[in-house]
Chain A
Amino acid sequence: MRFREWDSLKMFSKRELIIWLSYKMNALMWVLDTLFTTIIFFTLSLVTRGSDISFFPYGSNYVSFVVLGLFVHFISYTNLGDPFPRVSRIYWGGTMDLYMLSPLSYFTPMLGIMFRGVIDDYPRSILALLFGWLFFGAVFTFNSPFLLLIILILILLSTFGIGMISASSFYLFDFKQQVEPVKFIFQDVIIALTAGYYYPITVLPYPLQVLGGLIPHTYALDALRRLMIPGGDALTPVLPLQLALSGLSPVTLDILVLAVMSAVFLPLGWFMYVKGIEKARREGTLTRWQ
């Protein structure tokens, strides 16, 4: 990335941080919100205590299981859900024209403004792990830090790719005042139902398990839980794709699928976003004033 874009991203980040900090109650509410979310799932875990409910192959600690679900939820929520509203903010605020009249790439303003979501959500994912470990008995192992890092990077990239496809629909398909369908279908339908944040997706009917196989969350959670929860089984396949390709170890397959999704969604999202901007430039709809 050229220095110009990098400098601008840093400046956008600084601006978003100043704005975020200017709301005095933000930090307090932000910590409390993450704490209460973790408490809710700790309370739910009490229901399963002493029962014979199995989380195989993800160990037996529900707090660890769900806290990792929250971790992936928080980091992917920003990457997938933020690009569309940020583009919308630039459009309705009228600033897209001003950004276009600068040497910046089409993507930098959107990435820069997304930093508000990054400030808000990324640390939540760490806090969720921390609260779970400190207060509610979650236990994690970090025996494969390199694999964990790769999985983390791939879930960030693949969800951001979907986020870019979602953002591109603002200009490309003119979803300006309506529910954005890409985000709705992924985040509010498939992910909400089949991501397995709060339960193993193996408890779902088979067709829903297949549907869950279309989103990166399923593979990231599967790999993270197998690797990070004590007692997790790294070898037994449980997801439909793992069962179909049982020659590969489940974690390897998870990483491969995440890599393929990143390689497809990210360039597709960027391509569609550029096409959307070019279409808006032809039609005179870069901002709301013509």
Chain B
Amino acid sequence: MAIENVIEMRNITKRYKIRKSRERFTALDDVSLSIRKGEIFGLLGSNGAGKTTLIKVMSGLLQADEGTGETLGYDIYKDHKKIRATVSLVAPTADVGTDNNLTVRQNLEFWAVVYDLEREKREERIDEMLDFLELRQYENHWPMSISAGNRQKLAIARSLLVKNPVVFLDEPTVKLDAKSAAAVRELVKKINLEFGITVIMTTHYIYEAEELCERVAIMHKGKIVSCDTVANLRRNLQRYDEIVITCDQPTTEALNAITAIPVIVSCEYADGKLTVGLENIRSNLLEILKVLRGHGVSITEVATNEPTLEDIFVDTISGGGV
């Protein structure tokens, strides 16, 4: 039977020893989480929120103190070796695992053997990855002589050599310039779409999670304070989208017609501007404009104001979540 959820964590708690102290630091506090097969899942949170610790527990690199869980159907306590052999990880620093004394291709050849890629498939898969990640022109370059973005691609290429069903990306765009970061984000979408790989990524860049992730868990002080689609997080936090339309004074009938649309939560005209609060701007903007035009209202400008994931993040961690 196919596994619908590739990861199931229930009430996971992890505490770290504090050096030279008897106290322990709670890195994960009663965390429960399900991740579906084939999705891009984001773990969002500030430094120290527990994102990397959670990744390590899910990947079998770290033993939880309490709770239960499975990754790819394997128990995180009993089958951690099997889990470790069937997931991939890209560390936050691309240089981890990259040997600067070997060329880009030699690095991939090394890891292909370490990851036990079948001998006959090694060269073919390395070629495939070099092409897929657009690294072909650098295959004989030293890693230090290529850009940070391309080094990050090399790290991702390494993790994709065996095409494990789950890839963990720990802050994949940290320290990259805007152009390289955009290229890596495109790549994440591509590996998810073309190979059907479940991607679990941590980030503290909110726009990144918003652009890539189907669902997001917001972590704060070792807890998951919210976990849902971005749209649902918005809805749950009552952070409505807003349209500001610069137009003639609408008639009362026009205002009533707009208010009658089910997703509209507020509608107010002042100072030549009609401000409409609604649940989903993208699906309903056209309908509102149609209603106004139908009532002969002349429109000169339309501005939209969607709450970003950043707004939700700030709301969530300050309000304790939903």
Contact = CB atoms under 8 A, between A and B. Distances in A.
A286 B59 CA distance: 13
A22 B87 contact: no
Interface in B101-158: 101-102, 106, 109-110, 113-116, 119
A97 B101 contact: no
Contacts of B109: 11
Contact of B113 (A7, A281, A282): A7
B106 A18 contact: yes
B32 interface: no
A284 B14 contact: yes
A95 B90 CA distance: 11
B61 A101 contact: yes
A283 interface: yes
Contacts of B89: 97-98, 101
A100 B84 contact: yes
A4 interface: yes
A48 interface: no
B173 interface: no
A220 B110 CA distance: 37
Interface string A10-32: 11100100110010000000000
A286 B115 CA distance: 19
Interface string A72-109: 00000000000000000000011101111111100001
B16 A282 contact: no
Contacts of B93: 94, 289
B60 to A, nearest CB: 8
Contacts of A286: 61-62
Contact of A281 (B16, B63, B99): B63
Interface of A: 4, 7-8, 10-12, 15, 18-19, 22, 93-95, 97-104, 109, 281-284, 286, 289-290
Contacts of A100: 60-61, 84
B97 interface: yes
B113 A11 contact: yes
A104 B115 CA distance: 8
A4 B93 CA distance: 28
B254 interface: no
A61 B27 CA distance: 65
Interface in B60-99: 60-63, 80, 84-85, 87-89, 91-93, 96-97, 99
Nearest to B81: A103
B131 to A, nearest CB: 23
B85 A102 contact: yes
Contacts of B119: 7
Given A15-B106, A97-B89, A103-B85, 11 more contacts: A10-B113, A18-B102, A22-B101, A101-B88, A104-B114, A281-B63, A282-B63, A284-B14, A284-B53, A290-B16, A290-B56
A11 B84 contact: no
A4 B114 CA distance: 8
Contacts of B63: 281-282
A109 B113 CA distance: 12
Contacts of A99: 114
B61 A97 contact: yes
A55 B99 CA distance: 49
B278 to A, nearest CB: 43
B110 A95 contact: no
Contacts of A11: 109-110, 113-114
B17 interface: yes
B97 A102 contact: no
Contact of A290 (B53, B99, B110, B116): B53
B198 interface: no
Nearest to A11: B113
